[in-house]
Structure 1
Amino acid sequence: MRGLCAVLVVAGVAACTSSVPDSGAGVGFDDYDTYLSEKQARDAELRAQRSGAQTIAPPSASAATTPEQQTARDAVAAVRGTGAGQQGRGESVPAGIRNTSPNAPDLNNPSISDEQNFEAVSSRQSIESDAARRRAQSAQYEVIAPKAIPSRPGRDAQTPIEFALATTHPVGQKTYRRSVLSTNKAAKVCAGYTSSELAQDAFLKAGGPQKDKLGVDPDGDGYACGWSPVKYRTIAKRG
């Protein structure tokens, strides 16, 4: 009887005692390591959404090429006949078709000279034929001899250049009769001209050195307001 009671007591205690959970397992997961891995992945996804971070692809090599650089490449490729300038843009070119830029010059244009291309010239010219062609060109040269400048219609007065070449006496040599009172008047009148060239031109148009109506040639040398014909005479001698 006592033995049966002891067995019943032990069984009752066992029924009232709760089982101890496995410390290695997580809530709703097979183990704690799986729980941590999924938690870290979820946290990383949330951080990415909050920051709005986006992955930007690095610019390609073709995007960094300026239009001027691409045009230069196209022109070089067109001259070489390789079409490399256009292929750099990622365009496929069928076999047997020459790839050139629309901006490239037309090498078959007859108006473009190829005289500097040795292969092109040698294919159609020999040394003898080229020499004959040059002699024919030289025979067509026309040498035009210089002529005197014709007088302008409706103009009687000389220009300062014409007056300089028509006279030979130096500056300061009295050639025309003048009044003693002309000196004071000349200084005032000459101050109204911006240059001696303009004064000489007005002096000649007003009648020239024979009359000196403007009073700008007090010494009677024919040169108004200190104007000098030397530069024109020197040029004429050199020519």
Structure 2
Amino acid sequence: MRVFYLVPVIGVLAACDPAVPDSAAGVGFNTPEYQAQRDAVLQGQTVTGDPLIPPSAVSSEGLPPAGSATVDPATAVPVQTTAQTAAYVPQSGDTADDIARETAAALAAANGNSGVAPVEASPSNPAPALVSNPGISDEQDFQAVASRESIQSDAERIAQNRASYQVVAPTALPQRDADGTPNVVQYALSTSHPKGTQVYSRAGFNLAAKAERNCAAFPSPDQAQIEFLSNGGPQRDRKGLDPDGDGYACGWDPAPFRRAVQN
């Protein structure tokens, strides 16, 4: 029973389907007739019969010459060609005359046409700013140097340099004022044995613990060495700052001063 209902529906849908034009029947540009006429024209043969594209379908309006602007009479807005579009982009404040002049000048410059007068500066085409870079020297430019210097000016400058030249005589180095304080640098250079080598005898009990306690009172080993040398060192160690008898108090090391002189 359902089969009888489906048959009328299929018939209605088939009737609503629009007809597809047959390209092989002579519609469009891919027909054999069009290809034959095209090949005949390309080979220089005369084509007889009605053309496939009627002349009325082709506009007889000529194209504007390159570098000119066509104004649409309906909107009064210049219509630009492809070459104009590539050469100039209109701005919001430009008039039709501005666009036409600037586009013509841009196209003339691109084509190397020197017969067209340059376009004056406008809001959309400002004058180029002259930028000078004072950081670049022009001493290698003969024209620039010759415009501001001459043989006479060079002679005057040499004379001024000679007049201001002064010879400074060498003088002796100033002597260091002796204040009676031992010089640890001089003491380091006067010795040669390394740190930890016993050279002087030390007697007593718990010398290492005593030296550790006494050395804590000095802000640096240099200060401890100065105090050690000021109180009879290195032969005598009255404050117990040199328990191993190497002549260096509180771990002071003369090696950095020796290396500084060698370098």
Q: Answer 1 or 2: which has greater helix percent.
A: 1
Length-normalised TM-score, structure 1: 0.40
Q: Which has the higher contact order (CA 8 A, sep 6+)?
A: 1
Length-normalised TM-score, structure 2: 0.36
